[in-house]
Amino acid sequence: MRETYREQLESVTSDLVIMAQIVRGAVRDSTRALLQADDAIAERVISGDEELDRMSEEVEHRCFSLLSLQAPVAGELRIVVSALRMAAELARMGDLAVHVAKVARLRYPDIAVPESLRGNFERMASISEQMVETAGRTLQSRDVEMAEQLQHNDEEMDDLRRSQFRLMLGDSWTHGVEAAVDCALLGRYYERISDHAVSMGARVVYLVTGEAPAGASHWP
């Protein structure tokens, strides 16, 4: 009976890792749709979000079942509680990738991002994708050092975001209000994806050590 319980816990973790891989693909594809004005890819990202939502709901259901039927304690309880939170984080990251794809679809056949900001968004997208991948790997490996590194990766994202605003608010911006609004929203979407990845890393630290990382809120 206990072995089955442990297998259930491991299965929940495995599903979260799979969800992270799906999110990474959604971030990659939504960026391609955005920067290449590819309507077909945008539609694929949007329609594919249903599978991620289904997985998130399934993980949540299994976690509540474990809480009610197995009464986990100590480290096992941390796994279940962290899994509940991470499932929500991953679902939200998927939603944000969909938001990027919807902007790409809205502006099709034009490219929503002006050439002057293309490099900035390429880098933001690359960081977001890498951070989602790292969040999934830290969950699988329980590597606290790798999890803590996510916070440092997020600092570059903040710098890129600030540089966006400097350009959009500067005298050299000639692309109008609509493009500025698009870019402001898109930058926020990528920034929030990275924030959720940082939060996942923090939860891995909590899962392994039993202690909330410095600066964390709303714990457990």
Nearest C-alpha neighbor of 86 from the set 143, 152, 29, 18 = 18
Q: 166-215: per-residue pLDDT in tens? A: 999 998 999 999 999 999 999 999 999 999 999 999 999 888 887 766 65
Residue 201 lies in a domain: yes
- What CATH number does residue 78 fall under? 1.20.58.220
Residue 22 lies in a domain: yes
**What band does 1 get if pLDDT is binned at 50, 70 and 90?**
very low
Q: 64-113: per-residue pLDDT in tens? A: 888 887 767 777 888 888 899 999 999 999 999 999 999 999 999 999 99
Residue 102 lies in a domain: yes
Residues 15, 59 contacting (CB under 8 angstroms): yes
Residue 219 lies in a domain: no
Residue 9 lies in a domain: yes
Amino acid at 45: V
Residue 214 lies in a domain: no
Phi-psi region for residue 211, left (φ > 0), alpha (ψ -120 to 50) or beta? beta
| Whole-prediction pTM | 0.91
Residue 94 lies in a domain: yes
Instruction: Domain of residue 51: give its range.
Output: 2-209
How many domains would you assign to the chain? 1
Residue 131 lies in a domain: yes
